[in-house]
Protein backbone atom coordinates (compact mmCIF):
# COMPACT_ATOMS: atom_id res chain seq x y z
CA UNK A 1 0.00 0.00 0.00
CA UNK A 2 1.37 3.39 -0.94
CA UNK A 3 1.89 6.29 1.42
CA UNK A 4 -1.03 8.19 -0.12
CA UNK A 5 -3.41 5.30 0.37
CA UNK A 6 -2.28 4.82 3.97
CA UNK A 7 -2.80 8.52 4.62
CA UNK A 8 -6.33 8.38 3.21
CA UNK A 9 -7.07 5.30 5.33
CA UNK A 10 -5.78 7.06 8.46
CA UNK A 11 -7.86 10.15 7.71
CA UNK A 12 -10.95 8.00 7.23
CA UNK A 13 -10.33 6.21 10.53
CA UNK A 14 -9.74 9.53 12.32
CA UNK A 15 -13.01 10.87 10.95
CA UNK A 16 -14.87 7.76 12.18
CA UNK A 17 -13.28 8.04 15.61
CA UNK A 18 -14.24 11.70 15.88
CA UNK A 19 -17.83 10.86 14.98
CA UNK A 20 -17.90 8.09 17.59
CA UNK A 21 -16.49 10.43 20.24
CA UNK A 22 -19.07 13.10 19.39
CA UNK A 23 -21.87 10.55 19.73
CA UNK A 24 -20.51 9.35 23.08
CA UNK A 25 -20.32 12.91 24.36
CA UNK A 26 -23.88 13.66 23.29
CA UNK A 27 -25.25 10.50 24.92
CA UNK A 28 -23.33 10.85 28.20
CA UNK A 29 -25.89 10.99 31.03
CA UNK A 30 -23.45 12.85 33.30
CA UNK A 31 -23.06 15.61 30.77
CA UNK A 32 -26.81 16.03 30.66
CA UNK A 33 -26.84 16.39 34.46
CA UNK A 34 -24.13 19.05 34.34
CA UNK A 35 -25.89 20.93 31.56
CA UNK A 36 -29.11 20.84 33.55
CA UNK A 37 -27.28 21.96 36.70
CA UNK A 38 -25.72 24.89 34.84
CA UNK A 39 -29.13 25.90 33.53
CA UNK A 40 -30.61 25.72 37.02
CA UNK A 41 -27.81 27.90 38.42
CA UNK A 42 -28.72 30.49 35.79
CA UNK A 43 -32.28 30.33 37.11
CA UNK A 44 -31.09 30.90 40.69
CA UNK A 45 -31.00 27.36 42.09
CA UNK A 46 -28.88 26.73 45.17
CA UNK A 47 -26.50 23.83 45.88
CA UNK A 48 -29.15 21.64 47.51
CA UNK A 49 -31.49 22.13 44.55
CA UNK A 50 -28.74 21.05 42.17
CA UNK A 51 -27.98 17.96 44.21
CA UNK A 52 -31.62 16.89 44.45
CA UNK A 53 -32.66 17.71 40.90
CA UNK A 54 -29.58 16.57 38.97
CA UNK A 55 -28.38 13.73 41.17
CA UNK A 56 -24.88 15.13 41.56
CA UNK A 57 -22.73 15.26 44.70
CA UNK A 58 -22.24 18.38 46.81
CA UNK A 59 -18.69 19.06 45.49
CA UNK A 60 -19.96 18.71 41.92
CA UNK A 61 -22.86 21.04 42.60
CA UNK A 62 -20.56 23.57 44.25
CA UNK A 63 -18.18 23.41 41.31
CA UNK A 64 -20.92 23.90 38.72
CA UNK A 65 -22.32 26.80 40.72
CA UNK A 66 -18.92 28.46 41.15
CA UNK A 67 -18.05 28.05 37.48
CA UNK A 68 -21.35 29.49 36.29
CA UNK A 69 -21.14 32.43 38.69
CA UNK A 70 -17.55 33.12 37.64
CA UNK A 71 -18.56 32.90 34.00
CA UNK A 72 -21.35 35.41 34.58
CA UNK A 73 -19.00 37.89 36.29
DSSP for the chain, please give it: --HHHHHHHHHHHHHHHHHHHHHHHHT-HHHHHHHHHHHHHHTT--HHHHHHHH---HHHHHHHHHHHHHHH-
Domain ranges of the chain: 3-72
Q: Looking at residue 23, what is its pLDDT?
A: 83
What was the pLDDT predicted at 27?
A: 73
Please give the pLDDT value at position 1.
64
The reported pLDDT for the residue numbered 34 is: 83
**Entry pTM:** 0.56
- Amino acid 29: pLDDT: 63
Q: List, for residues 15-73, the tens digit of each pLDDT value.
A: 999 998 888 777 766 666 788 899 999 999 999 999 998 888 999 999 999 998 888 77
Amino acid sequence: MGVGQRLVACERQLHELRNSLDEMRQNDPLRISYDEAARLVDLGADIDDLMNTCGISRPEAELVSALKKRQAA
